[in-house]
Amino acid sequence: MWGEKPKKRETIFDEQHYTFLGKGVDFKGTAQFEGTVRIDGRFEGEMHTDDTIIIGEHAIIKGNISGNVVVSGGKVQGNITAHHRVQLFNPAVVIGDIRTPNFSMEEGVCFQGLCDMGLTNLDQFDLTRQETDIVSTGIAPIGTESKKFEKNAKHQEEKDWDTTHLTRR
């Protein structure tokens, strides 16, 4: 009681940079932030951070956004680039393109644009699968058939015909 030290409250403000643009705040221009950013007001321009951007339900953003993680429940008219992920929660509206390796969108979200999830160089992927992959997954690449599939199809075709009467069974 008397000898106890008061416990330190842990908040998001203690250990990291945190920027908050509240409801009723209007900002125009280019902004570069360190740490997490939460927007609940109006923002017009470009926004960049190396951390998380949280767009509140009442926020209205016109411009491009880039960060590590972008979480939105507000309105965005512009492109979003996130190095880790983008999450859109109802009632979010996004009119613009999204570029991120991980993307999730809750039911009720309005998204009009293109989503690029990192497939920029088709040469880095082997689009032809090995026969073992086809057998294990049961999926053959489009436009190709495995030798095993061809052999089974030919065998099945032979079983379908009565060779003595040349009629289909």
Q: What is the pLDDT of residues 96-147, one digit of tens each?
A: 999 999 999 999 999 999 999 975 444 445 554 444 444 444 454 554 444 4
Mapping DSSP to helix (H, G, I), strand (E, B) and coil, where does residue 22 land?
Answer: coil
Q: What DSSP designation does 122 have?
A: G
Provide CB contacts within 8 A for 106, sequence distance 6+.
88, 89, 90, 92
Q: What is the pLDDT of residues 30-46, one digit of tens each?
A: 999 999 999 999 999 99
> Taking the model in full, what pTM does it have?
0.63
All structural domains of the chain with their residue ranges? 12-116, 124-162
Q: Phi/psi at 35 (nearest 5 deg)? A: 85, -165
What confidence category does residue 67 fall into, taking pLDDT thresholds of 50, 70 and 90?
A: very high
